[in-house]
Structure 1
Amino acid sequence: METLGYLRHKGYQLIFLSNCSEKYMNAHRQAFQLNQYFEEMYCTETFEYSAKYKIFELIEKQYKENFLIVGDRIQDFEISHYHNLVNIGCNYGFGSEEELQQSDLRINAIQELQDIL
Protein backbone atom coordinates (compact mmCIF):
# COMPACT_ATOMS: atom_id res chain seq x y z
CA MET A 1 0.00 0.00 0.00
CA GLU A 2 2.89 2.32 0.81
CA THR A 3 4.37 1.96 -2.68
CA LEU A 4 1.00 2.46 -4.36
CA GLY A 5 0.50 5.63 -2.31
CA TYR A 6 4.00 6.80 -3.21
CA LEU A 7 3.37 6.32 -6.93
CA ARG A 8 0.04 8.16 -6.78
CA HIS A 9 1.65 11.01 -4.87
CA LYS A 10 4.34 11.25 -7.57
CA GLY A 11 1.56 11.72 -10.15
CA TYR A 12 1.57 8.30 -11.79
CA GLN A 13 -1.74 7.03 -13.12
CA LEU A 14 -1.98 3.43 -11.98
CA ILE A 15 -3.99 0.98 -14.04
CA PHE A 16 -4.69 -2.57 -12.91
CA LEU A 17 -4.96 -5.25 -15.62
CA SER A 18 -5.01 -8.85 -14.46
CA ASN A 19 -5.88 -12.33 -15.69
CA CYS A 20 -8.11 -12.69 -12.63
CA SER A 21 -11.88 -13.00 -12.55
CA GLU A 22 -14.16 -10.02 -11.88
CA LYS A 23 -15.21 -11.54 -8.55
CA TYR A 24 -11.60 -11.91 -7.39
CA MET A 25 -10.67 -8.40 -8.57
CA ASN A 26 -13.66 -6.78 -6.88
CA ALA A 27 -13.05 -8.64 -3.63
CA HIS A 28 -9.50 -7.32 -3.52
CA ARG A 29 -10.60 -3.86 -4.61
CA GLN A 30 -12.89 -3.72 -1.57
CA ALA A 31 -10.64 -5.49 0.93
CA PHE A 32 -7.61 -3.28 0.19
CA GLN A 33 -9.49 -0.11 -0.82
CA LEU A 34 -7.68 -0.14 -4.17
CA ASN A 35 -9.86 2.55 -5.75
CA GLN A 36 -7.79 5.15 -3.92
CA TYR A 37 -4.69 4.02 -5.83
CA PHE A 38 -5.84 2.88 -9.26
CA GLU A 39 -7.44 5.01 -11.96
CA GLU A 40 -9.25 1.93 -13.14
CA MET A 41 -9.14 -1.81 -12.66
CA TYR A 42 -9.59 -4.30 -15.49
CA CYS A 43 -9.58 -8.06 -15.63
CA THR A 44 -9.44 -10.33 -18.65
CA GLU A 45 -12.77 -11.95 -17.77
CA THR A 46 -14.52 -8.67 -18.67
CA PHE A 47 -13.00 -8.95 -22.15
CA GLU A 48 -13.82 -12.65 -22.64
CA TYR A 49 -10.27 -13.56 -21.57
CA SER A 50 -8.63 -11.80 -24.52
CA ALA A 51 -4.87 -11.38 -24.45
CA LYS A 52 -3.72 -8.52 -22.23
CA TYR A 53 -1.93 -6.77 -25.09
CA LYS A 54 -5.23 -6.65 -27.01
CA ILE A 55 -7.09 -5.30 -23.99
CA PHE A 56 -4.38 -2.68 -23.56
CA GLU A 57 -5.10 -1.47 -27.11
CA LEU A 58 -8.71 -0.84 -26.09
CA ILE A 59 -7.93 1.13 -22.94
CA GLU A 60 -4.62 2.93 -23.54
CA LYS A 61 -6.12 6.02 -25.21
CA GLN A 62 -8.00 6.89 -22.01
CA TYR A 63 -4.77 7.64 -20.16
CA LYS A 64 -1.61 9.71 -20.37
CA GLU A 65 1.20 8.49 -22.58
CA ASN A 66 4.45 6.94 -21.35
CA PHE A 67 3.30 3.63 -19.96
CA LEU A 68 5.41 1.31 -17.87
CA ILE A 69 4.41 -2.31 -17.33
CA VAL A 70 5.06 -4.02 -13.98
CA GLY A 71 4.31 -7.72 -13.90
CA ASP A 72 5.46 -11.26 -13.39
CA ARG A 73 4.09 -13.29 -16.31
CA ILE A 74 4.72 -13.50 -20.03
CA GLN A 75 1.29 -11.94 -20.69
CA ASP A 76 2.50 -8.76 -18.97
CA PHE A 77 5.67 -8.63 -21.02
CA GLU A 78 3.73 -9.20 -24.25
CA ILE A 79 2.03 -5.84 -23.69
CA SER A 80 5.39 -4.09 -23.67
CA HIS A 81 6.69 -6.03 -26.67
CA TYR A 82 3.61 -5.34 -28.82
CA HIS A 83 3.50 -1.66 -27.79
CA ASN A 84 7.22 -0.90 -27.40
CA LEU A 85 7.03 -0.15 -23.68
CA VAL A 86 9.51 -0.62 -20.84
CA ASN A 87 8.61 -3.37 -18.40
CA ILE A 88 9.70 -4.36 -14.93
CA GLY A 89 9.60 -8.00 -13.93
CA CYS A 90 8.75 -9.04 -10.37
CA ASN A 91 11.04 -11.83 -9.16
CA TYR A 92 8.64 -12.52 -6.29
CA GLY A 93 5.60 -13.31 -8.46
CA PHE A 94 4.34 -16.39 -10.26
CA GLY A 95 6.47 -16.08 -13.40
CA SER A 96 9.16 -18.58 -14.28
CA GLU A 97 12.77 -17.59 -14.83
CA GLU A 98 12.19 -18.02 -18.56
CA GLU A 99 9.23 -15.62 -18.51
CA LEU A 100 11.09 -13.07 -16.40
CA GLN A 101 13.96 -13.00 -18.88
CA GLN A 102 11.57 -11.03 -21.12
CA SER A 103 11.65 -8.09 -18.70
CA ASP A 104 13.80 -4.98 -19.14
CA LEU A 105 14.48 -4.61 -15.44
CA ARG A 106 13.74 -6.82 -12.43
CA ILE A 107 12.83 -6.12 -8.83
CA ASN A 108 12.76 -8.36 -5.76
CA ALA A 109 10.13 -6.36 -3.87
CA ILE A 110 7.49 -3.83 -4.92
CA GLN A 111 9.09 -1.23 -2.64
CA GLU A 112 12.04 -1.07 -5.05
CA LEU A 113 9.81 0.93 -7.41
CA GLN A 114 10.23 3.85 -5.01
CA ASP A 115 13.96 3.86 -5.80
CA ILE A 116 13.42 3.48 -9.55
CA LEU A 117 10.55 5.89 -10.18
Structure 2
Amino acid sequence: MLQSLIFDMDGTLFQTDKILELSLDDAFNHLRSLNKWDTATPIDKYREIMGVPLPKVWEALLPNHSIEAREQMDAYFLQRLVENISSGKGALYPNVKEVFRFLKENHYSIYIASNGLTEYLKAIVRYYQLDQWVTETFSIEQIESLNKSDLVKSIIKKYGITNAAVVGDRLSDINAAKDNGLVAIGCNFDFAQQHELSQADIVIDDLLELITIVPQLQRL
Protein backbone atom coordinates (compact mmCIF):
# COMPACT_ATOMS: atom_id res chain seq x y z
CA MET A 1 0.00 0.00 0.00
CA LEU A 2 1.55 3.27 -1.15
CA GLN A 3 2.14 5.63 1.77
CA SER A 4 4.23 8.45 0.44
CA LEU A 5 5.46 10.34 -2.59
CA ILE A 6 8.94 11.82 -2.79
CA PHE A 7 9.20 14.58 -5.39
CA ASP A 8 12.18 16.07 -7.13
CA MET A 9 12.08 19.88 -7.28
CA ASP A 10 13.83 21.23 -10.39
CA GLY A 11 12.14 20.24 -13.62
CA THR A 12 9.45 18.35 -11.69
CA LEU A 13 7.66 20.76 -9.34
CA PHE A 14 9.44 24.02 -10.17
CA GLN A 15 9.89 25.37 -13.69
CA THR A 16 13.56 26.10 -13.19
CA ASP A 17 13.84 27.19 -16.81
CA LYS A 18 12.02 30.42 -16.00
CA ILE A 19 14.79 31.67 -13.71
CA LEU A 20 17.69 29.51 -14.86
CA GLU A 21 18.90 31.58 -17.79
CA LEU A 22 18.21 34.84 -15.97
CA SER A 23 20.16 33.81 -12.87
CA LEU A 24 22.97 32.19 -14.84
CA ASP A 25 23.34 35.37 -16.90
CA ASP A 26 23.45 37.38 -13.68
CA ALA A 27 26.21 35.13 -12.36
CA PHE A 28 28.31 35.17 -15.52
CA ASN A 29 27.86 38.95 -15.86
CA HIS A 30 29.33 39.15 -12.38
CA LEU A 31 32.23 36.96 -13.51
CA ARG A 32 32.71 39.20 -16.56
CA SER A 33 32.81 42.27 -14.30
CA LEU A 34 35.74 40.62 -12.53
CA ASN A 35 37.43 39.96 -15.90
CA LYS A 36 37.22 36.23 -15.29
CA TRP A 37 34.92 35.38 -18.23
CA ASP A 38 34.84 36.76 -21.77
CA THR A 39 32.49 34.54 -23.80
CA ALA A 40 28.76 33.75 -23.89
CA THR A 41 26.91 32.35 -20.87
CA PRO A 42 27.05 28.52 -21.24
CA ILE A 43 23.31 28.00 -20.83
CA ASP A 44 23.18 25.02 -23.24
CA LYS A 45 25.90 23.23 -21.32
CA TYR A 46 23.98 23.80 -18.10
CA ARG A 47 20.81 22.39 -19.63
CA GLU A 48 22.69 19.22 -20.53
CA ILE A 49 23.78 18.61 -16.95
CA MET A 50 20.70 19.99 -15.23
CA GLY A 51 19.88 17.97 -12.13
CA VAL A 52 23.39 17.26 -10.91
CA PRO A 53 24.57 18.86 -7.63
CA LEU A 54 25.82 22.44 -8.05
CA PRO A 55 29.48 21.71 -7.16
CA LYS A 56 29.55 19.38 -10.19
CA VAL A 57 27.84 22.06 -12.29
CA TRP A 58 30.69 24.49 -11.66
CA GLU A 59 33.30 21.83 -12.36
CA ALA A 60 31.69 21.43 -15.78
CA LEU A 61 31.04 25.10 -16.54
CA LEU A 62 34.29 26.47 -15.10
CA PRO A 63 36.82 23.66 -15.67
CA ASN A 64 39.76 26.09 -15.83
CA HIS A 65 38.85 28.11 -12.75
CA SER A 66 40.06 27.51 -9.22
CA ILE A 67 37.97 25.79 -6.56
CA GLU A 68 37.76 29.14 -4.76
CA ALA A 69 36.41 30.85 -7.91
CA ARG A 70 33.82 28.08 -8.34
CA GLU A 71 32.72 28.42 -4.73
CA GLN A 72 32.35 32.19 -5.12
CA MET A 73 30.33 31.67 -8.30
CA ASP A 74 28.18 29.10 -6.52
CA ALA A 75 27.37 31.54 -3.72
CA TYR A 76 26.58 34.39 -6.11
CA PHE A 77 24.40 32.18 -8.33
CA LEU A 78 22.46 30.95 -5.29
CA GLN A 79 21.90 34.54 -4.20
CA ARG A 80 20.52 35.48 -7.62
CA LEU A 81 18.29 32.38 -7.75
CA VAL A 82 16.78 33.15 -4.35
CA GLU A 83 16.21 36.82 -5.23
CA ASN A 84 14.58 35.91 -8.56
CA ILE A 85 12.32 33.34 -6.88
CA SER A 86 11.36 35.77 -4.12
CA SER A 87 10.44 38.43 -6.67
CA GLY A 88 8.05 36.04 -8.43
CA LYS A 89 10.05 35.42 -11.59
CA GLY A 90 9.73 31.62 -11.37
CA ALA A 91 6.72 29.31 -11.57
CA LEU A 92 5.54 25.91 -10.43
CA TYR A 93 4.54 23.40 -13.08
CA PRO A 94 0.80 23.25 -13.81
CA ASN A 95 -1.34 21.44 -11.25
CA VAL A 96 1.28 21.12 -8.48
CA LYS A 97 -1.00 22.55 -5.82
CA GLU A 98 -4.02 20.60 -7.04
CA VAL A 99 -2.08 17.33 -6.88
CA PHE A 100 -0.61 18.14 -3.47
CA ARG A 101 -4.06 18.99 -2.15
CA PHE A 102 -5.43 15.67 -3.46
CA LEU A 103 -2.57 13.69 -1.94
CA LYS A 104 -2.88 15.39 1.43
CA GLU A 105 -6.66 14.94 1.52
CA ASN A 106 -6.17 11.25 0.79
CA HIS A 107 -3.61 10.83 3.57
CA TYR A 108 -0.41 10.44 1.56
CA SER A 109 2.76 11.95 2.96
CA ILE A 110 4.65 14.29 0.62
CA TYR A 111 8.41 14.87 0.69
CA ILE A 112 10.80 16.76 -1.55
CA ALA A 113 14.27 15.38 -2.31
CA SER A 114 16.35 17.71 -4.42
CA ASN A 115 19.87 18.23 -5.71
CA GLY A 116 19.23 21.93 -5.05
CA LEU A 117 20.80 23.77 -2.16
CA THR A 118 18.91 24.31 1.10
CA GLU A 119 18.43 28.09 0.82
CA TYR A 120 17.23 27.77 -2.76
CA LEU A 121 14.68 25.12 -1.81
CA LYS A 122 13.52 27.16 1.19
CA ALA A 123 12.89 30.13 -1.11
CA ILE A 124 10.63 28.05 -3.38
CA VAL A 125 8.75 26.39 -0.52
CA ARG A 126 8.27 29.75 1.21
CA TYR A 127 7.17 31.72 -1.87
CA TYR A 128 4.65 29.09 -3.02
CA GLN A 129 3.63 28.06 0.54
CA LEU A 130 4.29 24.39 -0.19
CA ASP A 131 4.87 23.56 3.46
CA GLN A 132 1.10 23.36 3.99
CA TRP A 133 1.31 20.01 2.14
CA VAL A 134 4.96 18.94 2.27
CA THR A 135 6.11 17.08 5.40
CA GLU A 136 9.77 17.96 4.87
CA THR A 137 12.11 19.18 2.13
CA PHE A 138 15.53 17.55 1.84
CA SER A 139 18.59 18.97 0.07
CA ILE A 140 21.53 17.05 -1.34
CA GLU A 141 23.62 19.28 0.95
CA GLN A 142 22.49 17.02 3.80
CA ILE A 143 24.24 14.00 2.26
CA GLU A 144 28.02 13.72 2.21
CA SER A 145 28.02 11.51 -0.90
CA LEU A 146 25.92 14.03 -2.92
CA ASN A 147 24.02 10.97 -4.17
CA LYS A 148 20.24 11.24 -4.50
CA SER A 149 19.77 7.53 -3.78
CA ASP A 150 21.40 8.14 -0.39
CA LEU A 151 19.22 11.20 0.16
CA VAL A 152 16.04 9.21 -0.48
CA LYS A 153 17.36 6.44 1.76
CA SER A 154 17.73 8.99 4.58
CA ILE A 155 14.08 10.05 4.14
CA ILE A 156 12.94 6.43 4.27
CA LYS A 157 14.93 5.85 7.44
CA LYS A 158 13.80 9.04 9.19
CA TYR A 159 10.09 8.50 8.53
CA GLY A 160 9.93 4.69 8.54
CA ILE A 161 8.62 4.60 4.96
CA THR A 162 8.03 1.14 3.49
CA ASN A 163 6.03 1.88 0.34
CA ALA A 164 6.51 5.01 -1.75
CA ALA A 165 7.11 6.41 -5.20
CA VAL A 166 9.77 8.84 -6.34
CA VAL A 167 8.55 11.40 -8.88
CA GLY A 168 11.19 13.13 -10.97
CA ASP A 169 12.46 14.01 -14.41
CA ARG A 170 16.04 12.71 -14.45
CA LEU A 171 17.94 9.44 -14.11
CA SER A 172 19.10 10.36 -10.59
CA ASP A 173 15.44 10.33 -9.50
CA ILE A 174 14.72 7.02 -11.22
CA ASN A 175 17.83 5.45 -9.72
CA ALA A 176 16.92 6.83 -6.29
CA ALA A 177 13.62 4.95 -6.53
CA LYS A 178 15.10 1.71 -7.87
CA ASP A 179 18.02 1.67 -5.42
CA ASN A 180 15.57 1.94 -2.53
CA GLY A 181 12.93 -0.49 -3.81
CA LEU A 182 10.39 2.25 -4.60
CA VAL A 183 8.22 2.96 -7.64
CA ALA A 184 9.90 5.27 -10.18
CA ILE A 185 7.57 7.80 -11.84
CA GLY A 186 9.31 9.74 -14.60
CA CYS A 187 8.15 13.22 -15.61
CA ASN A 188 8.37 13.95 -19.33
CA PHE A 189 8.94 17.66 -18.75
CA ASP A 190 11.46 20.29 -19.93
CA PHE A 191 14.76 18.70 -18.92
CA ALA A 192 13.77 15.05 -19.33
CA GLN A 193 15.69 12.77 -21.67
CA GLN A 194 13.95 9.82 -23.31
CA HIS A 195 16.73 7.30 -22.72
CA GLU A 196 16.51 8.10 -18.99
CA LEU A 197 12.71 8.06 -18.80
CA SER A 198 12.69 4.62 -20.45
CA GLN A 199 14.03 3.23 -17.16
CA ALA A 200 11.08 4.52 -15.09
CA ASP A 201 8.19 2.28 -14.07
CA ILE A 202 5.63 4.89 -15.16
CA VAL A 203 6.02 8.05 -17.27
CA ILE A 204 3.67 11.03 -17.02
CA ASP A 205 3.28 14.16 -19.17
CA ASP A 206 1.38 16.16 -16.55
CA LEU A 207 1.41 15.97 -12.75
CA LEU A 208 -2.38 15.79 -12.81
CA GLU A 209 -2.04 12.17 -14.01
CA LEU A 210 -0.91 11.28 -10.47
CA ILE A 211 -4.48 11.72 -9.27
CA THR A 212 -5.42 8.67 -11.36
CA ILE A 213 -2.16 6.72 -11.04
CA VAL A 214 -1.62 6.89 -7.28
CA PRO A 215 -4.89 5.20 -6.27
CA GLN A 216 -4.10 2.40 -8.75
CA LEU A 217 -0.71 1.90 -7.10
CA GLN A 218 -2.53 1.85 -3.77
CA ARG A 219 -4.34 -1.32 -4.81
CA LEU A 220 -1.20 -3.21 -5.87
- TM-score normalised by L of structure 1: 0.92
Structure 1: which amino acid aligns with 2:212?
D
Structure 1: which amino acid aligns with 2:102?
Y
SS of the residue corresponding to residue 56 of structure 1 reads helix
Residue matched to 1:102 = 199
4+ aligned runs moved over 6 Å, structure 1: none
Distance 1:48 1:27 in 2: 23
C-alpha deviations, 1:61-96, integer Å up to 9, x for none?
Answer: 232321111111111011122122111110114221
Which has a greater percent of strand?
A: 1
Structure possessing the higher radius of gyration over alpha carbons: 2
Q: Which runs of 5+ in 1 are unaligned?
A: none
Distance 1:72 1:93 in 2: 8
Q: CA deviation at 1:22?
A: 1.3
Residue matched to 1:27 = 123
Query: Do residues 62 (structure 1) and 158 (structure 2) align?
Result: yes
Equivalent residues, number: 117
Q: Give the one of 170, 192, 207 matched to 1:73.
A: 170
Once the two structures are aligned, what percentage of the paired residues are identical? 32
Q: Which runs of 5+ in 2 are unaligned?
A: 1-96, 215-220
Higher RCO, 1 vs 2 (CA within 8 Å, ≥6 residues apart): 2
Q: Which moved more, 1:70-79 or 1:87-96?
A: 87-96
